[in-house]
Amino acid sequence: MFQIIELPEKKYQVIYADPPWKYGGGKGKNSSKWGNSLSQYPCMKLSELKGMPIDKIAENNCALFLWATSPTLPEAIELISAWGFKYMTVAFVWVKKYRNGKPYCGMGYWTRSATEQCLLAFKGKMERKNNTVYQVIEEPITVHSKKPDEIRERIVNLMGDLTRIELFAREKHLGWDTWGNEVPKETQMLLASDDASDDHRAEPRGIQSLKDE
């Protein structure tokens, strides 16, 4: 079972989330390849994600940026609705590369996956502050599941300097509040005035694994 860490008592205009999606896995001898995330960090079922009280931290007018892999797109749309948001578009598409610059060749049930999508959803009304923010980002893969840091900059450029939090965070960043069980407790709430030079490269999870008794 999983224990959800308490969310902050604060509301935000921007929520950036990279959920630990739980995959069904492949079949047969290759099934372990498709569920690699299970070996990296605790994952959450859709029902567990839907049960998170995101409405308590979302302002009446709020933008949600939600990462989803291709197999989890239906669940991501369902989660957006459960959290009280309306799907708008795909904000960003990460085209993965190897560190040597060559195109990435990942796993996949059918074609070999090489992209991930960050979906955009709104609650209430939001205003675009910059019409020059590109959707596609081509960056090398690094630590398992870690998304390009540039995405945070693009979010701020797109939406403006709004109150914002990153859920399932793996490290702290200047100007962002952070939430996740691998972020040190004293930095769970990182305010804009904090020093963001420390690098906590833990996996981006907001749950704690507990053994069933």
Closest to 171 (Cα-Cα) out of 147, 195, 208, 202 = 202
Report pLDDT for 199: 35
pLDDT in tens, 99-155: 998 989 888 888 988 999 999 999 999 999 999 999 999 999 988 679 999 999 999
Length of the chain, in residues: 213
pLDDT in tens, 40-50: 557 899 999 99
State the average pLDDT for the chain.
Answer: 81
Whole-number Å distance between alpha carbons of 112 and 19: 22
Fold designation for 10-170 = Rossmann fold (3.40.50)
Q: What are the tokens at 112?
A: 């070999």
CA atoms within 13 A on the CB side of 167: 24
164 and 136 in contact (C-beta within 8 Å)?
no
Report pLDDT for 35: 46
